[in-house]
């Protein structure tokens, strides 16, 4: 099948999402931007680096590719308006795989009431997925990484360590459909928690893609503050402890440094009540860097490409 046939196959019969005025099909999509500002973010996923098709179905990979972008929109306190999808497909990739991938992308997009408004399809030596998400601030100010202040509470919404546990299970050759494997295949970012945190006065926020400690390092650096994570406040779910003891691994390490759950982490003034779904895990102080119970964490604090 040629390029245009494939584009036809993956776009045919798709409904236009509510904020889309035009597209896909023209030189660019036109989206409503009621706020007058557009939030934009992009994340690339590469086969063997971000996913394996013997570990996940194309549909699950498609959902994840969109989810990791929508969590960046939520982390700004915005709501998504549309996604654009770039697909680099090896020549021998069955068109059904591309179809399933795009189907998964649509499913995830539709969870938040949007659609795939455009994209591009090219030949490539390994399957490469580039998703761009656009969002709307609905009149609110963006919640950046740089607003954390000494005295703030650090809080998290969503799962931590589940995807890393699932990755460990898959990496040891098990394919059982346990919950952590499901969490690795398709993250469940707490999309609504982003705008809710913004409304509740969050001073900084980001999504946890690389690992809690690593990502908190970005907030600490951008805000020029120190962040201490208090392990007595950080829940290690029973499920993770069970998987860890079966594998001889450390569940707390997954929670503190595991990426790809796309949880949201934010800081809030200490006198504010945390919005529903948010749990306190630490505190902001004057200084620099991230500590755990006052000490520097031994070992890598999260995923880093080329390391």
Ligand X SMILES: Cc1ncc(C[n+]2csc(CCOP(=O)(O)O)c2C)c(N)n1
Output the known binding site for ATP.
119-120, 145, 209
Q: 10 Å Cβ neighbour count for 31?
A: 21
Q: If contact means CB under 5 to 8 A according to the sort of partner, which of ligand ATP, Mg ion, ligand X, none does residue 50 touch?
A: ligand X
Q: Lay out the site mask for ligand ATP across 8-47 (x = CB under 6 A, - = otherwise).
A: -----------------------------------x----
Nearer to Mg ion, 43 or 100 (CB): 43
Q: Three-class SS of residue 126?
A: coil
Q: CA-to-CA distance for 110 and 281, rounded, in angstroms? A: 31
Shortest Å, Cβ 184 to ligand ATP: 15
DSSP letter (8 states) at residue 209: S
Closest by Cα among 307, 303, 270 to 50: 303
Closer of 179 and 221 to ligand ATP (Cβ): 221
Q: How far is the CB of 49 from ligand X (least distance, A)?
A: 6
Residue 228's nearest CA partner among 172, 146, 290, 170 is 290
Q: Residue 124 CB, nearest distance to ligand X (Å)?
A: 17
What token pair was written down for 76?
């700004």
Q: Minimum distance between the CB of residue 47 and ligand X, rounded to whole angstroms? A: 8
Cβ atoms of 202 and 255 closer than 8 Å: no
Residue of minimal Cβ distance to ligand ATP: 209
Please state the residue numbers annotated as binding site for substrate: 50, 260, 303
Tokens of 244: 């860890």
Least distance in angstroms from the C-beta of 171 to ligand X:
8
Q: How many CA atoms lie within 13 A of 155 on its CB side?
A: 26
Residue 164 or residue 202: which is nearer to ligand X going by CB?
164
46-75: which residues touch ligand ATP (CB under 6 A)? 68, 72
Q: Are 63 and 186 in contact (CB under 8 A)?
A: yes
Spatial distance between the Cα atoms of 56 and 50, rounded to a whole number of angstroms: 11
Q: How far is CA 119 from CA 10, 92, 116, 230, in A?
A: 11, 20, 8, 43
Q: Which residues bind ligand X (CB under 6 A)?
A: 43, 48-52, 68, 167, 209-210, 259-260, 303
Task: Choose the contact partner of 51 out of Mg ion, ligand X, ligand ATP, none; CB within 5 to 8 A by kind.
Answer: ligand X
For residue 134, count CB atoms less than 10 angstroms from its CB and return exposed for 0-12, middle for 13-18, buried for 19 or more: buried
Min dist CB 210 to ligand ATP, Å, is 5
Query: Please, which residue, 68 or 168, has the CB nearer to ligand ATP?
Result: 68
Q: Which residues of 41-77 are buried (b: 16+ CB within 10 A; e: fewer)?
A: bebebebeebbeeebbebbbbbbbbbbbbbbbbbbbb
Footprint (CB under 6 A) of ligand ATP, residues 123-182: none
- Using CB under 6 A, which residues numbered 191 to 210 contact ligand ATP? 209-210
Mask for 77-116, x = binds ligand ATP (CB under 6 A): ----------------------------------------
Q: Which does 254 bind (CB under 5 to 8 A by kind): Mg ion, ligand ATP, ligand X, none?
A: none
Closer residue to ligand ATP (CB): 209 or 267: 209
Contact set with ligand ATP (CB under 6 A): 43, 68, 72, 209-210
């Amino acid at each position: 099948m040629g390029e245009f046939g494939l584009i036809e196959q993956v776009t045919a019969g798709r409904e236009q999402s509510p904020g889309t005025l035009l597209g896909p099909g023209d030189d660019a999509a036109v989206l409503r931007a009621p706020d007058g500002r557009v939030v934009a973010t992009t994340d690339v996923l590469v086969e063997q680096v971000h996913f394996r098709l013997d570990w996940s179905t194309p549909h699950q990979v498609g959902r994840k590719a969109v989810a990791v972008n929508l969590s960046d929109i939520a982390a700004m306190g915005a709501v998504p308006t549309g996604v654009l999808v770039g697909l680099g497909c090896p020549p021998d990739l069955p068109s059904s795989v591309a179809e399933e991938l795009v189907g998964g992308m649509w499913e995830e997009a539709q969870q938040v009431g949007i659609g795939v408004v455009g994209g591009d399809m090219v030949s490539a030596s390994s399957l490469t997925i580039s998703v761009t998400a656009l969002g709307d601030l609905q009149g609110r100010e963006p919640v950046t990484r740089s607003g954390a202040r000494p005295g703030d509470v650090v809080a998290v919404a969503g799962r931590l360590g589940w995807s890393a546990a699932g990755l460990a299970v898959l990496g040891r050759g098990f394919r059982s459909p346990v919950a952590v494997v499901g969490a690795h295949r398709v993250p469940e970012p707490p999309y609504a928690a982003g705008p809710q945190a913004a409304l509740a006065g969050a001073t900084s926020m980001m999504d946890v893609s690389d690992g809690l400690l690593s990502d908190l390092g970005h907030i600490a650096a951008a805000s020029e503050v120190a962040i201490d994570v208090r392990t007595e406040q950080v829940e290690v779910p029973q499920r993770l402890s069970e998987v860890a003891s079966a594998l001889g691994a450390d569940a707390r390490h997954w929670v503190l440094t595991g990426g790809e759950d796309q949880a949201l982490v934010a800081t809030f003034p200490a006198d504010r009540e945390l919005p529903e779904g948010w749990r306190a895990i630490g505190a902001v102080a004057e200084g620099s860097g991230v500590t755990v119970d006052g000490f520097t964490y031994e070992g890598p604090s999260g995923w880093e490409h080329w390391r």
